Amino acid sequence: MAGSDSIRVFAPATVANVTCGFDVLGFAVNNPGDEIVLRKTNTDKIVIKAIHGDGGRLTLDPNFNTVSIPVIKYLEKYGIKQGLEIELFKHMPLGSGLGSSAASSVAGVFAVDKLLGLNKTVEEMLPFAMEGELIACGAAHADNVAPCLYGGFVLVRSYNPLEIVRINTPKGMYCSLVHPHVEVQTKDARNALPKEIPLGTAVTQWGNVAGLVVGLMKSDFGLIGRSMQDVVAEPARAGLIPGFYSVKESALHAGAIGAGISGSGPSIFALSDSLDKANKIAEAMAAAFKKIGIGSETYVSEVNHQGPVVMG
């Protein structure tokens, strides 16, 4: 892309935690996602020209926006003086548990890298994307940013030092997402978590995390489903999402391999082994929310394998 004056990039939404993997597991989906258009200008300034689809909620100040911070830090790090104009198209709800801020951060760093032709590795781009996430949530979780940038399933093996491990993404795995029209702040969802975990609970949880990873590596959908049990975060957070258990049950009844809270919620995700089932599961989850008077939107796609892509 170096030589071109502008670039359009898509970056995918992500499901953090994947039930039992609180703060350490995540995967990307093909739909929804954010798009960014980055244009070179003849100034030395980074400007956010417009943000579409956020209802005016996001700041246009480049020093405080999750899309521009990674761009600024990237230019600083590599000593590049290049004016850029950013246009961001938000195609997903904010604060939904779908990794909205992570998608914008990844779109920003990936776009500037490709536009300027530096072609850094995802490992080199990750710290810049995490800077954007830090601005958005006050904490640099990698369980949205890393799968968004790497694509597929990833494990955050360690935060200090940061070690990201790619996990096999089984072929033919689909994700259904439902975003109910209720607000859950990540801060409240984190405050709801237990400070200590009884040993027996921890044993159940780490057995499930290991089972889920092995299930993914072996494309063993049965093992994946049996392992998608969260005995730590889900019981503490379910009460923040009205109807959570009936929506989850509706997904399993419609054929889901497993289901749970997407990130810190309120969105709920379900995995399945066919597009047909994934569509039925999404409909069932939306119907379960409707039954208790809550509107929602749904998204269905194959689990993403490639992370951000250049669209033009």
Question: Residues with catalytic annotation?
Answer: 133, 186
Positions 19 through 38 that interact with ligand HSE (CB under 6 A): 22-23
141 binds ligand HSE (CB under 6 A): yes
Question: Would you count residue 263 as binding ligand HSE (CB under 6 A)?
Answer: yes
The distance of closest approach from Cβ of residue 263 to ligand HSE in the complex, given in angstroms and rounded to an integer, is 4
Q: x/- contact string, 205-244, with ligand HSE (CB under 6 A)?
A: ----------------------------------------
Q: Pattern of binders to ligand HSE over 177-196, x per CB under 6 A?
A: ---------x--xx------
To ligand HSE, the closest distance from the beta carbon of 113 in angstroms equals 24
Nearer to ligand HSE, 3 or 196 (CB): 196
Cα dihedral 17, 261, 186, 208 sign: negative
Q: How far is the CB of 99 from ligand HSE (least distance, A)?
A: 8
Tell me the number of residues near ligand HSE by CB under 6 A: 13
262 is a contact residue toward ligand HSE (CB under 6 A): no
Collect all residues with Cβ–Cβ distance below 8 Å to 76 and sequence separation of at least 6: none
- Specify the length of the chain in residues: 312
Q: Is residue 307 a contact residue for ligand HSE (CB under 6 A)?
A: no
- The reply on whether position 298 binds ligand HSE by CB under 6 A is no
- Cβ at position 97, least distance to ligand HSE in Å: 7
Site for ligand HSE, rule CB under 6 A: 16-17, 22-23, 137, 141, 143-144, 186, 189-190, 263-264
